[in-house]
DNA sequence: AAGGGCCTCAACCGCTATAGA
DNA sequence: CTCTATAGCGGTTGAGGCCCT
């Protein structure tokens, strides 16, 4: 299909926007809202094409855009998500509030890509650039790399929720039959213990959010850890690549951050030894005390 | 001080996806 | 179903600023 380019008309200005043009665009959008980009320039008194106006607004003028340097946390998020999604800048941007896909793309190309290279990592594959082709993420032993992650996650859940909270909930998380967990099992994909657990937890979180009869976690729960405190970068990377989809991970993050911004920071509970294999998921013993069960 | 090279990032281009007539 | 308009995406470009010689 041949289409007339939108920006080839006579008298259409290109290049950098002036403050006056910005003001006209802002004023118009504040008055009329977004949309109707094709006719907007004429109505707003701008000699620009609609596409240019939309881009200027989306990438620069929108009031919710966060300017300034990227934080180390944002850097980590971008790198992790890039490892998972590749150059899907718009998808990555949805996880960084106030950052645009264009900004992330530029930041990646000018900073993060170089940083990975300096660390000896291929910015495309995120694997080490060396002759062996090793990724650096392979387990150092015969144990799967995800084992410690799943074990620690379960310990945290058990130790933080089990006593004061809903025993049924935790049991449900671990032994529940959710569509998500079943999909994972039916997909034929390699199903790591961590991803199995995460899928079950994520499925349960959906249940919490959508079923009014389900009491879920209590409001005084102070479980405010996030992934970065919870797991190593390697573990997070592994989770993102083995769990079913990004949405599930976001759901799980919702569980982990449950309790609200004002809740206290949890302290590390004494580490409970958890079997690295996740056989115990299937052999969950409801008569056992929650904390310290996983040995 | 001059100018050449490099870097950054806003903006553009070409394309696909989607909605609606 | 087809066609068209619009929105959105990712790659690329180029202006301008900075740094080094």
A37 touches strand B (CB under 7 A): no
In a domain, A13, yes or no: no
Domain boundary among A115, A136, A157: A136
Q: Give the pLDDT mean for A24-40.
A: 82
pLDDT of A39 > 50? The answer is yes
pLDDT of A197 > 70? The answer is no
**pTM of the prediction?**
0.53
Instruction: Report pLDDT for A262.
Output: 25
A39 touches strand C (CB under 7 A): yes
CATH classification of the domain holding A34:
1.10.10
In a domain, A12, yes or no: no
Q: Verify that A208 and A181 share a domain, yes or no.
A: yes
How far, CA to CA in Å, does A195 sit from each of A28, A154, A229, A233, A236? 48, 12, 18, 16, 11
Answer for the pair A61, A71: CB distance below 8 angstroms, yes or no: no
Q: Verify that A165 and A248 share a domain, yes or no.
A: yes
pLDDT digits (tens, 9 = 90+) for A271-295: 222 232 233 333 333 333 332 222 2
pLDDT of A221 > 50? The answer is no
| A16 CA, B6 C1': Å apart | 21
Shortest CA distance to A277 belongs to which of A201, A194, A202, A173? A194
Q: Verify that A81 and A166 share a domain, yes or no.
A: no
Q: Verify that A227 and A132 share a domain, yes or no.
A: no
In a domain, A1, yes or no: no
Residues 205-264 of A, Cβ under 7 A from nucleic strand B: none
Q: Verify that A47 and A85 share a domain, yes or no.
A: no
| A55 CA, B15 C1': Å apart | 16
pLDDT range class, residue A10, cuts 50, 70, 90: low
Mean residue pLDDT across chain A: 56
| A291 CA, B16 C1': Å apart | 52
Domain count, chain A: 3
In a domain, A193, yes or no: yes
Nearest residue, CA→C1' of B10: A16
Instruction: Report pLDDT for A141.
Output: 30
Nearest nt (C1') from A114 Cα: B7
A7 touches strand B (CB under 7 A): yes
In a domain, A291, yes or no: no
In a domain, A141, yes or no: no
Protein contacts on strand B: list nucleotides below 7 Å from a Cβ. 7-14
Length of chain A counted residue by residue: 295
In a domain, A191, yes or no: yes
SS (H, E, C) A204-264: HHHHHHHCCCCCCCCCCCCCCCCHHHHCCHHHHHHHHHHCCCHHHHHHHHHHHCCCCCCCC
Domain residues for the domain of A56 are 19-61
| A100 CA, B11 C1': Å apart | 14
Q: Verify that A92 and A176 share a domain, yes or no.
A: no
Instruction: Report pLDDT for A251.
Output: 42
pLDDT of A21 > 60? The answer is yes
In a domain, A208, yes or no: yes
Domain boundary among A89, A115, A136: A136
């Amino acid at each position: 299909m041949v289409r007339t380019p939108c920006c080839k008309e006579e008298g259409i200005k290109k290049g950098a926007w002036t403050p006056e043009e910005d003001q006209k665009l802002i004023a118009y959008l504040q008055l009329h809202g977004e949309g109707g980009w094709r006719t907007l320039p004429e109505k707003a008194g701008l000699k620009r094409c609609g596409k240019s106006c939309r881009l200027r607004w989306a990438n620069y003028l929108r009031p919710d855009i966060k300017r300034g340097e990227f934080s180390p946390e944002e850097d980590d998020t971008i790198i992790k998500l890039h490892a998972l999604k590749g150059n899907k800048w718009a998808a990555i941007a949805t996880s960084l509030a106030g950052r645009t896909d264009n900004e992330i793309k530029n930041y990646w190309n000018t900073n993060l890509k170089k940083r990975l290279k300096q660390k000896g990592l291929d910015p495309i594959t995120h694997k080490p650039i060396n002759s062996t082709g090793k990724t650096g993420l392979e387990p150092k032993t015969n144990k799967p790399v995800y084992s410690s992650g799943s074990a620690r996650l379960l310990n945290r859940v058990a130790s933080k929720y089990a006593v004061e909270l809903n025993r049924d909930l935790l049991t449900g998380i671990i032994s529940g039959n959710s569509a998500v967990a079943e999909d994972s099992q039916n997909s034929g994909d390699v199903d790591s213990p961590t991803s199995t657990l995460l899928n079950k937890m994520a499925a349960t979180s959906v249940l919490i959010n959508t079923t009014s009869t389900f009491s879920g976690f209590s409001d005084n729960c102070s479980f405010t850890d996030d992934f970065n405190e919870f797991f190593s970068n390697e573990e997070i990377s592994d989770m993102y690549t083995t769990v079913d989809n990004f949405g599930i991970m976001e759901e799980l993050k919702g569980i982990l951050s449950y309790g609200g911004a004002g809740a206290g920071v949890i302290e590390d509970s004494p580490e409970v030894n958890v079997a690295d294999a996740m056989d115990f998921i299937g052999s969950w013993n409801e008569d056992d005390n929650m904390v310290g069960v996983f040995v």
